[in-house]
Structure 1
Amino acid sequence: MQKLSRRSLVKTGCSTVIAAGVVSGAHAQSAPSAENGAEQVYDVVIIGSGCAGMAAAIEAKKAGASPVILEKMSRPSGNTIFSGGIINATNTYVQKQQGVKDTLEDFYKDMMKVSLNRGDEELTRMYVEKSGEQIQWLTDVCGVKFRPLENEVWPMLQRGHVVDGPLNPHGAQLSKNMLDTVKKLGIPIMFNTKVIEITSDPILRATGVKAVVDDEELVTIKAKGGVIVATGGFHANKEMIARYMGGNTAWMPIRGSTCLTGENITLTQKFNPMFVNMDQYHGGPIHGPTRANPSIMVNYGLLVKYDGTRFIDEVETYVRVAKAMPTLIPDNKAFIIIDDQVTGISTVQDRIKRYQRAKAQYYTANSIKELAEKAGLPVDTLVSVVDEYNKAVKAGKAAELTPPNTLENPRLIEKGPFYAFPFMGGMTATFGGPKITKKAEMLNTEGKPIPGLYGAGNAIGGLLYDDYIGGSQLCAALIWGRVAGQEAAARAKKA
C-alpha cells in the first residue's frame, strides 16, 4: 500500500465553518501512514464528520480509546452545517434559567404523537430522558452557547435550543465548536477519504474499513472496538429516493447536504441489517434556486399558491407543509405571506436574513394589493383571501375557513409593510436505515446486534417516522453518537 497523500493528512489548523455549505480552513491532524502494506490500527473507526461522528470521536477519546474520523469530502459537508442549529430537548439548564415548565412525560407524548406513534418507543423514551444532558455536554465539552428560548407553536414550544455564535446557519457554528474540540483532543480526521467497504471476519463481525484516499490510494484500517456509521442518510441519491419513496419525491429540491448518498445502506448491506422506515423522510420549505430556508416561518402567516389561494392549514409543521406540496401543488411552488407584526420575532428575523444572505428574491410592500402586484400574484384574489382570513380570525372562526387555520392564536395580516417569500417543498434528510439498539448497535434481520457495527445520526432508522419536532435529528445524533463512541471504546478494551 502506498504512503498516504499529504493533501488529506495535514496538521489541524483553526477550522472555520461558514454558511451555505462552505467550510474554510478545515484541516486534519496527521494520521500515521501505513508503510510496506501494513494496515493502520485504531480502537474506533468513525465514518462521517457530522454532529454524530464528532460526538462519537470525542466520547471515544475521553474514554481512553484511539478514534479516527474518515470523511469522504474535503471538509465537513453533511447536514449539520446546513441545519438551523436547533437542539430539541427538555429539562435543560437553559430552560431552568428561563423558568420554563415542561415534563419528560409531556415531551414523550409529543414526540410519539408527531411520529404517529410509529417511532420506536424504547428509543424515543431514551431520547427524551437523555435530551437535556446533551445541552449541558455541548456547553461543558464543546463550549457551545445557546440563545434565549423562543416560545414557538406546538410541538416545539420552548424546547428548541438554538446554538449561538457568529456563524450562520447556526448548525455551522455547532460544527465549528465540535471540530475545534476534536482538534483540541488531538483526534485525527482523514478528509478526501471515501470508505468503500466495512471489513468483517467470516462470521460477519465488523473489523475495520477499506477506504480510498484522494481517489487514488487504498488504505486499510483495523478497528479494535468497532466501526461507527455516521454517514447521514440517502436523500441526495435520486435512485434510492425513487426506489423507496416514489418518483414525485425525487423531484423535490435538496435542502440539506448534496453529499449524503446512501452509504448507510450500501456499506452495511452485507451484514444483513434490519432496514426500517425506508419510505420516510424529513422535508421542509426551501427557496429552490438559492436554498434559502424559511423553515418554521410557515407558521407565522398565510401560505398561498401562485393563484393567490390558501392550500393548507398553517398549524401544520413545516415538515408536513413541505411534504404535502408536491401532491397539493403540481409545480410545488408557493408563498409565505407575513406582516410587520412578526418581523421583530427572532425566529422570523433569522429566516428573513437567510433570504438576504442567499440573495433570494422576496417581495415587500405597504399594501396587500401592491404586494400581489410585485410578486406576480392575482391581485383581486390575494386581497380577497387576506380580507376573508382577517375577518375570520377576528371573529374567532379561523377554523371554519377552507382550508381551516387551527392555530391556537392565528396571526392577523394587517400591518404593513407586508412580505411575500417564495418557497418550495424540499427534501432534507431520510428517516430510514439500519435499526439500532439503545447502545447504538446495528441490528440484523433476526433482531440481533451486529458485533462491532454501530450507527448514529441520520444513518439510523427507527426513531423518527412521518415528522419530528424541530431539532430532533441533531439531538438524536448527539445522544447515539456519544453512546456509540462509549460502547466501541469499551469493546476495544476487551479486544
Structure 2
Amino acid sequence: MENSLIGANYDTVVVGAGNAALCSAIAARLQGVRVLVVERAPKEKRGGNSYFTDGAIRVAYEHFEHIRKVIPDIPDEEAEDIIMPEYGKDDFYADMMRVTEGRSDPKLAKQLVGKSLGTILWMKEQGVEFELNAANQSFINNGKREFWGGLPLKTKKKGIGLMEYLFKRLDDLGIEVVYGTRAVELVKEGNKITGLVVEQGKEQVQLSCSSVVLASGSFEANKEMRKKYIGDEWEAAIVRGTEYNTGDGLDMALSAGAQKYGEWSGCHSIGTDYNVPKFGDFNKPGDIFKKHSYPLSIMLNKDGKRFVDEGADFRNYTYAKYGKEILKQRDHVAYQLFDAETRPLLREEYNLEEATVVQADTLADLADRLDVNKDAFLATIEEYNEAVQDGEFNPSIKDGKHTEGIDLPKTNWAVKVEKGPFYAFPVTCGITFSFGGVHTDPEGRVLDDKDKPIDGLFAAGEMVGGIFYGNYPGGSGLMSGAVFGKLAGTAAGTYVLKNTETTGA
C-alpha cells in the first residue's frame, strides 16, 4: 500500500494514465496546482490504449508549412519532393460530419477541429516528437511522395514513443503517479466534488481534492458491458488495447450525477489478424496486428461471399466500422484476398512475422487451404473479375475504378484478382473503444442531466461522449484525447485557482 496517499490532499487528481490523462495532468500542473495521477494498471502496463496505437494523429494543418513547424527537421530537398494536399479545419470538420452521418455534437466537433493544430504544437512544446506518416499514408507517384487521406502526421516510435515523451514530461514537472490504484468512487458534497476513493489491494483510501479529471477510457474491456450496450455478439470481440478499460470512470461519473451521452451502442472496431492476442500485448505493441490494406482487396467470408464495399472510401474513413461487419460473419472471420499485383502495395503490418497468411499458386488451391465454401468462393471471385471496369488504378486517390453488374459493387481500386501467387489474410474483429460516454461542455466540464456543470468534475479522452457515432476519421481518437485532455486539465487547474481565491485558502 502507498502510505503517501493516507491523508493526502491534492488540488487535482487525474484518473488514468493514457494520452488524454497525461495531457490533462500536464495542463493542470502548468496552471500551478498540485496534481496526482491515479492508474489502475501496474507500472509495467501503464499507458492505456494509447500505448498500443501506431501514433497516427489527425490535425487540421491547413498546408504543408504547418506540418514543417511540427517537424522542423524535414530537409528542403525532401520537402520539394512531397505532395501534401491542404487539409484545413473545414476539411476535418466535414470528414467528422460525413463519417458520423451528421450526428457528431457540433460544439465538440468544432472544438476538436479548431484546437487540433494548437494542441499538436503544445504537445511538441511538452517534448512529444512527431514524424511524417509516410509508410501508411503516401505512395510514390512520378518520383514524388504523394500523401492522401488527411493523416500525414504521427508520433515518433508510435504510441510507445508518445507515452514515453508524456511520462518524461510528468517527471520533469514533478507530477506524482501511483500505480495499481483503482478509482472507485467520487466524493461529492452538494454539487461539488471534494474527493476520490481509491482501492489499493483490499484497502480503500479517500483522497481530498478540489477537482477530478476522469480519463480512464471507455468500457471496451468489460465483456458484460459490451454485451449489455453494444450487443451479445460483442462478447466474441478481441480487445485491441489495455485490459483495464472496464468502464470504472463512467460508472463513477454516472453515480455522481453525470449525464450519459453519445452512442452507447456503438464502438470503434477494426479488422485485425485472426490470431491476435485476446488483449493488447505489451511485448508486441504498436498496433502491429491490424490489417488495413483491405481497400486493395476483396474480402470474403466463410460462405465465400463478399459483404462490404472494400473500396467505398479511403481506409481512414471505413476501417473503424468494418470491424463490426466482420464480427457479423460466421465464426467472426473473413479473408482479405490479394494477388501478385496488389501484394507489393500492402501496408507494413502485412510483412511482419506476426501476420497470418495463406498462400497458393492458384485460387483453387487457395480455397482448399481455407475454411470456406470452395464453389461459392471461386464463383464470387469470377463474378467480381468479370465486373471490373477499365480505368486507371491509383491508390493515392479515389480513382473511381469500379465494378458494374454485381449486387455489391466495389467503388474504387477495383482490380482483377487473377495473377498468382494469391494471398489470403484471415481477420477477425478487434474493439478499440466504445463511443458512449458522459456529456461535457467544450472545455471538458462534466454536465448533469440538466446540462449544468458538476463543480470540480472534468472528463477527457474516450469518456467524452457525443463525438463519434458509427465511425470516425482515422487518427481523430488520439487527437480528441489530446485536445480534450489539455482542455480538461486547464479547466480543472483554473477551477482550483478560482475556488482557492473565492475561499481565501
Question: TM tier, shorter chain?
Answer: 0.7 to 0.9
Q: Deviations over 1:291-316 (max 9, x none)?
A: 46324222221101123321221135
1:454 and 2:458 correspond:
yes
State the shift of 1:283 in Å: 1.4
State the shift of 1:336 in Å: 0.8
1:112-131 to structure 2, matched below 5 A, reads 112-131=97-116
Q: Deviations over 1:191-235 (max 9, x none)?
A: 01111211111x13112211122x0443322223x1000010011
1:358-373 to structure 2, matched below 5 A, reads 360-373=355-368
State the shift of 1:249 in Å: 2.5
What's 2:437 paired with?
Answer: 433
In 1, distance between residues paired with 2:271 and 2:118? 30
Q: Deviations over 1:147-191 (max 9, x none)?
A: 3445479x97132523232xxxx2223222222222232211100
Structure 1 pair 325/433, CA: closer, same or farther in 2 (3 Å)?
same
Is contact 1:237-1:262 (8 Å) kept?
Answer: yes
1:8-87 to structure 2, matched below 5 A, reads 33-34=4-5, 39-75=7-43, 76-87=46-57
1:482 and 2:494 correspond:
no
- Structure 2 gaps, min length 5: 70-78, 140-146, 278-287, 313-317, 391-400, 501-505
Q: Deviations over 1:117-138 (max 9, x none)?
A: 1110111111111122333333
Structure 1 pair 134/297, CA: closer, same or farther in 2 (3 Å)?
farther
1:258 and 2:243 correspond:
yes
Q: Deviations over 1:55-89 (max 9, x none)?
A: 11111222222211100110315211222222122
State the shift of 1:440 in Å: 0.3
State the shift of 1:259 in Å: 1.5
1:6-405 to structure 2, matched below 5 A, reads 33-34=4-5, 39-75=7-43, 76-91=46-61, 93-94=66-67, 98=82, 99-149=84-134, 151=137, 157-165=149-157, 170-201=158-189, 203-213=190-200, 215-224=201-210, 226-276=211-261, 277-291=263-277, 293-316=289-312, 317-327=318-328, 329-345=329-345, 348-353=346-351, 356-357=353-354, 360-379=355-374, 381-395=376-390, 397-405=402-410
User: Which residue identity does 2:411 align to in structure 1?
Assistant: T
In 1, distance between residues paired with 2:108 and 2:291? 26
TM-score calculated relative to the size of structure 2: 0.82
User: Which residue identity does 1:122 align to in structure 2?
Assistant: K
In 2, distance between residues paired with 1:152 and 1:245? 35
Q: Deviations over 1:4-61 (max 9, x none)?
A: 26xxxxxxxxxxxxxxxxxxxxxxxxxxx15xx5x21222110000010011111122
In 2, distance between residues paired with 1:485 and 1:180? 18
Is contact 1:69-1:190 (8 Å) kept?
Answer: yes
What's 1:423 paired with?
Answer: 427
State the shift of 1:261 in Å: 0.6
In 2, distance between residues paired with 1:425 and 1:152? 26
Is contact 2:185-2:252 (8 Å) kept?
Answer: yes
1:223 counterpart SS class: strand
State the shift of 1:372 in Å: 2.7
User: Which residue identity does 1:4 align to in structure 2?
Assistant: E
Structure 1 pair 111/411, CA: closer, same or farther in 2 (3 Å)?
farther
1:137 counterpart SS class: helix
Structure 1 pair 245/344, CA: closer, same or farther in 2 (3 Å)?
same
State the shift of 1:412 in Å: 4.0
User: Which residue identity does 1:302 align to in structure 2?
Assistant: I
Q: Percent identity?
A: 27
1:58 counterpart SS class: helix
Structure 1 pair 288/260, CA: closer, same or farther in 2 (3 Å)?
farther
1:308 counterpart SS class: coil
State the shift of 1:416 in Å: 4.2
State the shift of 1:426 in Å: 2.8
Is contact 1:87-1:471 (8 Å) kept?
Answer: yes
Structure 1 pair 72/477, CA: closer, same or farther in 2 (3 Å)?
same
Aligned residues between the structures: 448
In 2, distance between residues paired with 1:267 and 1:449? 16
Is contact 1:275-1:435 (8 Å) kept?
Answer: yes
Q: Deviations over 1:247-288 (max 9, x none)?
A: 123332222322111112211123211101222211111234
State the shift of 1:94 in Å: 2.5
In 2, distance between residues paired with 1:283 and 1:106? 24
1:442 and 2:415 correspond:
no
Structure 1 pair 340/137, CA: closer, same or farther in 2 (3 Å)?
farther
In 1, distance between residues paired with 2:488 and 2:257? 20
Task: Give the counterpart of 2:414 among 410, 417, 430.
Answer: 410
State the shift of 1:398 in Å: 0.8
In 2, distance between residues paired with 1:81 and 1:161? 17
In 2, distance between residues paired with 1:367 and 1:181? 54
Is contact 1:255-1:284 (8 Å) kept?
Answer: no
Is contact 1:90-1:159 (8 Å) kept?
Answer: no
Tell me the C-alpha RMSD between the 2 structures: 2.5
In 1, distance between residues paired with 2:384 and 2:165? 44
In 2, distance between residues paired with 1:303 and 1:4? 51
- Structure 1 gaps, min length 5: 6-32
Structure 1 pair 400/88, CA: closer, same or farther in 2 (3 Å)?
farther
Is contact 1:264-1:460 (8 Å) kept?
Answer: no
Is contact 1:335-1:422 (8 Å) kept?
Answer: yes
Is contact 1:439-1:483 (8 Å) kept?
Answer: yes
User: Which residue identity does 1:82 align to in structure 2?
Assistant: F
